[in-house]
Amino acid sequence: MSNYRFNDLKDKVCVITGGAGVLGKAMCEALAVNGVKLAILDINLESATAVANEISSQYNTVAVGIEANVLEKVSLEAAAAQIKAELGAIDILINGAGGNSPAATSKLEMLDENNLDQLEDSFYGLSMDGFDKVFALNFKGTLLPSMVFTKDMLDKKDGVVINISSMNAYRPLTKIPAYSAAKASINNFTEWLSVHLARTGIRVNAIAPGFFLTNQNRFLLTDEKTGELTDRGHKIIANTPMGKFGKPEDLQGTLLFLLSEASAFITGITIPVDGGFNAYSGV
Ligand code: NAD
């Protein structure tokens, strides 16, 4: 439950992709408290419907779960038509769908003289299929919904887009080159689109979450059997000056600020919400 109130958001219509995910759901809750009408898009209809039902029964607003694939324009256009009919013209787009996959993750962090015989476990053995899927989900999966869901905003001469970046955009983490490259492209695209749309009344900004334990990174940060932190999980905590993972609710204040009139002259920026990770050199 979010405690932050921004009265100017009441009755706005928001589309959130990946809205059934862990961070997406926390963002939906903050919006619902503020009276925003929600179209919760996800590739997983069951989860999207479950989140929408929970939100509409708990808060005094409308929420609908809609199946859509952020990589298929036709599927997004069908969702846009449904949203217009059920909720009205779109004011806000949150590009929340994204994530990494084991198929785009190298086993080795670095190559050195002791493991040069294990090239298959390094950069050289990465599956191009896995790489393409992760890059597309995070980059094209932001680009396409931005094309489809900002059209209403052009008509209204008003609207806000929020993209979701990552710490990988600033300093890539080992093992996950596709995810890192794609998230770096999100910061760049946020700047590019903000300039392209600056005179239309549409603002485009991004949030770069630090480390939050969710489905997309659990396999890297915790041991599947014991649930204990992996070495990588410990390293992340050691490099986060606040000494902990973020809670999904930690994104809510920044999100609401970037959506509201309080940030009316802000466009083209990415705000880290990271417990100090990005500021810390490790020394
Ligand atoms: P999550 O896996 O809980 O949520 C992602 C959601 O996206 C899921 O509900 C999934 O079904 C949906 N999705 C996947 N592919 C899709 C597609 N093709 N079309 C539509 N929906 C699709 O992950 P999360 O941690 O809540 O991540 C949300 C966003 O935050 C992602 O962009 C992620 O990269 C980013 N992020 C997460 C962290 C973290 O620490 N968890 C850190 C930085 C950035």
Render pLDDT for 104-131 as a digit per residue (tens, 0 to 9): 999 999 999 999 999 999 999 999 999 9
Q: pLDDT tens across 50-74, in order?
A: 999 999 999 989 999 999 999 999 9
Nearest CA to ligand 1 atom 19: 69
| Residues whose CB is less than 8 angstroms from the CB of residue 175 and which lie 6 or more positions away in sequence, other chains included | 105, 106, 107, 108, 109, 220
Number of domains in the chain: 1
Which atom belonging to ligand 1 lies closest to the Cα atom of 217? Answer: 41
Report yes or no on 24 lying in a domain: yes
Contact 22, 244 (CB under 8 A): no
List helix spans (H) across the chain.
22-33, 45-58, 73-86, 128-138, 140-149, 151-156, 177-197, 218-221, 231-238, 252-259
Q: Is 257 inside any structural domain?
A: yes
CATH number of the CATH domain containing 122: 3.40.50.720
Output the CA 24–ligand 1 centroid distance in Å: 7
Tens of pLDDT, residue by residue over 192-214, are 999 999 999 999 999 999 999 88
Range of the domain at 192: 7-210+246-272
Q: Would residue 134 count as lying in a domain? A: yes
Name the residue of 42, 162, 167, 187 whose CB sits within 8 Å of the most ligand 1 atoms, as the mutation to test its pocket. Answer: 42
Residue 77 covered by a domain: yes
- The angle formed by the CA atoms of residues 138, 144 and 146, to the nearest 5 degrees, is 100
Residue with tokens 């070495």: 231
